[in-house]
Amino acid sequence: MIASSNPLLRHGQIPQFQTITADHVEPAIRQLIATQDTAFTALQATATPTWEGLIEPLRRLSEPLGFAWGVVNHLLGVRNEPALRAAHECVQADVVAAAMRLGQSARIHSLLLALQATGDLDVVQQRVLAGLIRDGEWSGIALTGAARERFNALAVEQSELATCFQNHLLDATRSFALEFTDLAEVAGLPDTARAQAAAAARAAGNAAATAEKGPWRITLEMPLFVPFMEHATRRDLREQLYRAFITRASSGPHDNSPLITRVLAARREQAQLLGYTDFAAQSLSGKMAGTVATVDSLLAVLRKSALPAARREWQELQDFARGESRDPGLQLRHWDVAFWAERQRESRYAYSEEALRPYFPFDRVLDGLFELVHTLFGVTVRPAQAETWHPDVRFFEVLDQGKVIAGFFLDVFSRPAEKRGGAWMDVCLDRCRDTRGERLPIAYLVCNQAAPVDGKPSLMSFGEVETLFHEFGHGLQHLLTRIDHPEVAGINRIEWDAVELPSQFMENWCFHRETVRGLSRHIDTGASLPDELFDKIVAARAYRAGSQFMRQIALASVDLALHQLADPEQFSATVQRIWAENSVLPPLPEDRFLCSFSHIFAGGYGAGYYSYKWAEVLSADAFAAFLEGGVDDRAAMTTIGRRFRETVLALGGGTHPAEVFREFRGRDPAPQALLETFGLVVVN
Ligand code: ZN
């Protein structure tokens, strides 16, 4: 195949999505790997410890494969088909191996260190360099002999442990099911939940199952488990299900307990080989928070406010349940909490997500979002032409003072047959300005809301509106970057605990009255969302906030403590102690939730689970700057909006996030705004 005829080789340009097929994948990727390897071998001989002699050539040789592989992975998410999956599988291991070869050259690593020692780089260049050096160090590049071998063996072991942990959890989750044939057993379940339970029964081989007549199958998978715990009136069945849930993957062939000890021990040993006291110290050294002590003190502040609130919420729920059940002796147990919390929520904030939909036609919401972005950041969004992967997908340009500065694809409608669930923002092209010229940033924004049917517009739930704002926030940080070096432009290299700042910041606007008025226009009457409904949405957001906070605080504390343990065999006692300090209703003695805590044992959240709360603190505090400035004062909003643009959105990964935040806010982040948003009393 001639190089130029394969669209995956057109690096640096907007992908030709109508032209790209599965047949392009293997030849393009193989060619790009070969070219990259050749160029990298050559560079190791010719590189000099200068920006132009080292960093730019590394960028030039690695970008084409990164771009093509990015496009392939994107298509796998939005236009999945067997041929594409097969092509992807066929080259995936080779792509991973090629990336590892780039990261494991001792020669390049020593040149990076030499370049760092010269000291004549600007702040952004230093960030690029520090990132590359740390990648090398954390892959053990500076280790030699037996230490290097041990490090590599631990790395292999850890990736096997993670896979095994996840597989145990999946198998254990699948191995349990309750199948009901009596309508009384599923009493209380909403129609949608009954339909899902019948679908699960059909999938399990009971072809005749219907939502009305059953049988209904309930498993430990979230979409079936959660509605049952929230709605099923049969307390004994909730208990049975709950007990199965908290002991998942904790015994028999799927027991994750021994794996937990091994994961903790391997992480600790690797961290110590790299010179850290423990894995928590290593993890934090690469994050915005910086040290375990900083996170601990934040969690302590949040706990002070949240724990009394959680105690109060518990008492209120207990009283409510006693009243509603007409059983003054009722003692709430673990399997009652979700059920009674849902009843209490219904009684306090009676409105349904479905009732809100007519107020949020997709096109109105999108226009409202673009208007907000224009007011805050001074940029204009307009439709533009580009090849897309589906007729529903739109392409937009972002203009600043009449000049196009970025572009993005927007793919919002669900297509279950070919598109994966959830919502995400991803990078198509990074912004770059170097000796080759200038390249504009291009993003993918993907959601999964209901598609328009019979010519009627897509009506969004409030949650879908929040999701769109969230992903758009990520997108803005990519699109409005002013960084010329793609390695740290936009969202690249932003510390894990700071990356959700702009996304959650944008979500906050969904709870701002004027913004929501502008976003909403009833599909039949044209009316914007009534104040009374808006007030309920805002109040419902803070419902049981103390309890929700305490759960996240407990999980974050467990995660950090486990990754500092000198003796990983002792994990169980540590978990029990922390849980006792952080809960109103201590877990049952047989609770083994740790065996299903895949975020930290099989995902990227090890010694980083606190990031959820950390990012909420940042985004609430950033949003509070607008509230303090007088959020209904347009001039003030514009001034603060521009400052947000020039700091958080423009600097991205090019400056340490603690410094970026200080530049925006004039001080370090503080948790008061988050606590107040959720109606929690600030305790000093
Ligand atoms: Zn996000």
Residues with CB in 5 Å of ion ligand 1:
503
Q: Determine the average pLDDT of the residues in 267-294.
A: 98
Question: Tens digits of per-residue pLDDT, 571-610?
Answer: 999 999 999 999 999 899 999 999 999 999 998 899 999 9
Separation CA 43–CA 47 (nearest Å): 5
What is the whole-number distance in angstroms between the Cα of residue 609 and the centre of ligand 1? 14
Give the whole-number percent of the chain exceeding pLDDT 70. Answer: 99
Q: Which helix (H) or strand (E) holds 68?
A: helix 56-78
| Amino acid occupying residue 8 | L
Nearest to 648 by CA among 637, 628, 667, 662: 662
What is the whole-number distance in angstroms between the Cα of residue 245 and the centre of ligand 1? 27
Per-domain residue ranges of the chain: 3-142, 176-248, 358-543+612-677
What is the whole-number distance in angstroms between the Cα of residue 501 and the centre of ligand 1? 9
Separation CA 675–CA 681 (nearest Å): 7
Tokens of 66: 């990164």
Q: Determine the average pLDDT of the residues in 281-309.
A: 97
Give 532-589 as a DSSP string.
HHHHHHHHHHTTTHHHHHHHHHHHHHHHHHHTT-S-GGGHHHHHHHHHHHT-SSPPPT
What is the whole-number distance in angstroms between the Cα of residue 355 and the centre of ligand 1? 26
| φ/ψ of residue 84, rounded to 5 | -70, -40
What is the whole-number distance in angstroms between the Cα of residue 5 and the centre of ligand 1? 36
Separation CA 602–CA 158 (nearest Å): 9
pLDDT classification of 35: cutoffs 50, 70, 90 = very high
Question: Tens digits of per-residue pLDDT, 209-256?
Answer: 999 999 999 999 888 999 999 999 999 999 999 999 999 999 999 999
What is the whole-number distance in angstroms between the Cα of residue 470 and the centre of ligand 1? 6
Q: Determine the average pLDDT of the residues in 86-97.
A: 94
What CATH architecture applies to the domain 3-142?
Answer: Up-down Bundle (1.20)
What is the whole-number distance in angstroms between the Cα of residue 622 and the centre of ligand 1? 16
Residue whose pair of structure tokens reads 């504390």 in the numeric block: 557
Separation CA 216–CA 179 (nearest Å): 6
Backbone φ/ψ region at 434: left (φ over 0), alpha (ψ -120 to 50), beta: beta
Question: Tens digits of per-residue pLDDT, 406-464?
Answer: 999 999 999 888 998 889 999 999 999 988 899 999 999 999 998 888 788 899 999 99
What is the whole-number distance in angstroms between the Cα of residue 652 and the centre of ligand 1? 15
Nearest to 285 by CA among 10, 659, 656: 656
Separation CA 495–CA 452 (nearest Å): 38
| Amino acid occupying residue 56 | E
* 48: helix, strand or coil: coil
According to the model, what pLDDT value does residue 1 have?
46
What is the whole-number distance in angstroms between the Cα of residue 466 and the centre of ligand 1? 11
The counts of H helices and E strands in the chain are 27, 9
Catalytic status, residue 471: yes
What is the whole-number distance in angstroms between the Cα of residue 487 and the centre of ligand 1? 20
Across all residues in the chain, what is the average pLDDT?
A: 95
Residue whose pair of structure tokens reads 């790997």 in the numeric block: 33
* Crossing angle of the two packed helices 334-348 and 222-231, in degrees rounded to 10: 70
Give the Cβ contact number of residue 466 at 10 Å.
Answer: 20
Contact 562, 264 (CB under 8 A): yes
Catalytic residue (one of 466, 471, 507, 616): 471
Tokens of 218: 């309930």
What is the whole-number distance in angstroms between the Cα of residue 443 and the centre of ligand 1? 14
Nearest to 489 by CA among 477, 499, 501: 477
Alpha helices, DSSP H, located in 204-333: 222-231, 235-246, 257-273, 279-285, 292-325
| Amino acid occupying residue 618 | L
Separation CA 132–CA 135 (nearest Å): 5
> How do beta strands 432-434 and 437-439 pair?
antiparallel
pLDDT classification of 18: cutoffs 50, 70, 90 = very high
Separation CA 240–CA 262 (nearest Å): 31
Residue whose pair of structure tokens reads 């990736």 in the numeric block: 159
Contact 261, 568 (CB under 8 A): yes
What class, spelled out in words, does domain 358-543+612-677 have in CATH? mainly alpha
Alpha-carbon distance values, 204 to 217, 228, 628 (Å): 8, 18, 55
Tokens of 75: 């298509």
Contact 550, 305 (CB under 8 A): no
Residue whose pair of structure tokens reads 């307009």 in the numeric block: 382
What is the whole-number distance in angstroms between the Cα of residue 494 and the centre of ligand 1? 13
Separation CA 581–CA 578 (nearest Å): 5
Question: Tens digits of per-residue pLDDT, 457-515?
Answer: 899 999 999 999 999 999 999 999 999 999 999 999 999 999 999 999 999 999 999 99
According to the model, what pLDDT value does residue 654 have?
96
Contact 442, 405 (CB under 8 A): no
Residue of 78 and 684 predicted with greater confidence:
78
According to the model, what pLDDT value does residue 4 have?
61
Max CA separation in the chain (angstroms): 82
pLDDT classification of 631: cutoffs 50, 70, 90 = confident
Separation CA 151–CA 144 (nearest Å): 10
Separation CA 369–CA 357 (nearest Å): 17
Answer yes or no: is pLDDT of 164 > 70: yes
